[in-house]
Amino acid sequence: MQAYASETLTDRSGRKVRCYELLQSNAVWNIVFIHGTPASAAVFGEQFRQPFPRANLFALDRPGFGPSGPGRRRPSLDEQADAVGAVLSTIPPGRTILVGHSYGGPVALLAALKFTNQVSGVVLIGGSVDPGQEHIYTIQYIADWPLVSWLLPRPLRQCNRELLTLRGDLLQLQPQLASLNVPVIMLHGNRDRQVPVANVAWLRAQLATAGKANLFDALVYPDYNHFIPWEHPDAVQAALRKLTDRLDHPIPSIAIH
């Protein structure tokens, strides 16, 4: 990703977070991109090369990836959301959208819940949100043994740690979804082998059960896989347009008696 500007921030636990930004003079939106695992802010290079109109763009290297620390601490969605909070604390005034890819999806949802007054909407791209879809394999436990894990490159080591704890984190996130108060657009590919498209129906059902079906919408492409941000940047633009249109023209909730 072309780093138009970058800075190192500190979250509320004292961890260093690297953030990249592209500011536009006529911006009315702030868009914060949150990558999956293993990855870095660079996966959103296409979004920075063709920026969404009238928007300031931000992308962070999540803790444990790129120059962001730490490298050894056990990951959690909560700590990752705090890193997003460090970015939110520095961005210009305006309506802010969180865009999370893969593991970055639940990070975006939790950040929207934790920083309610600073987030206007969420776009999930191939988001891992359903705990029932998370499976751990024996090789992952072996890879986490200290003598084995330190033989792995840091991104793969951190990825494995995140996936080992993800299901438990999602189970903790699930009851909090009833408190969500911003619209969510879920962008997914029907041929996604990494994160099954069943995640879309799961989140739709969760919000419907909470009486918040009006907050949810989805764009599912039959022939797309998991790598939408760089293979189909036009779909990301479409999801952002759909969300900004929703925010400009809110859909009223319907009371059921």
Mind listing the pLDDT tens digit for each residue in 189-214?
Answer: 999 999 999 999 999 999 999 999 99
Inside any domain, residue 158: no
Q: Has residue 1 got a pLDDT over 50?
A: no
Inside any domain, residue 119: yes
Inside any domain, residue 204: yes
Handedness of CA 182, 188, 190, 192 (dihedral sign): negative
Range of the domain at 209: 6-130+170-247
Between CA 119 and CA 139 the distance in angstroms is 38
Query: What's the structural domain count of the chain?
Result: 1
Inside any domain, residue 55: yes
Between CA 235 and CA 223 the distance in angstroms is 12
Inside any domain, residue 174: yes
Question: What average pLDDT does the segment 91-110 reach?
Answer: 96
Q: Has residue 73 got a pLDDT over 70?
A: no
Binned at pLDDT 50, 70 and 90, residue 170 comes out as very high
pLDDT value at residue 194: 95
Inside any domain, residue 152: no
Higher pLDDT, 132 or 156: 132
Q: How many residues can be counted in the chain?
A: 257
Inside any domain, residue 137: no
Question: What average pLDDT does the segment 229-245 reach?
Answer: 98
CA distances 60 to 1, 64, 180, 194, 200, Å, are 11, 11, 23, 22, 25
Question: What average pLDDT does the segment 32-47 reach?
Answer: 96
Inside any domain, residue 164: no
CATH number of the domain that 223 lies in? 3.40.50.1820
**Which of 22-26, 57-61, 71-75, 173-177 shows the lowest per-residue confidence on average (mean pLDDT)?**
71-75
Binned at pLDDT 50, 70 and 90, residue 68 comes out as confident
In this structure, are residues 206 and 22 in contact, taking their beta carbons and an 8 Å threshold? no
How do residues 112-149 score in pLDDT, each as one tens digit? 999 999 999 999 999 999 999 987 777 765 766 676 66
Binned at pLDDT 50, 70 and 90, residue 218 comes out as very high
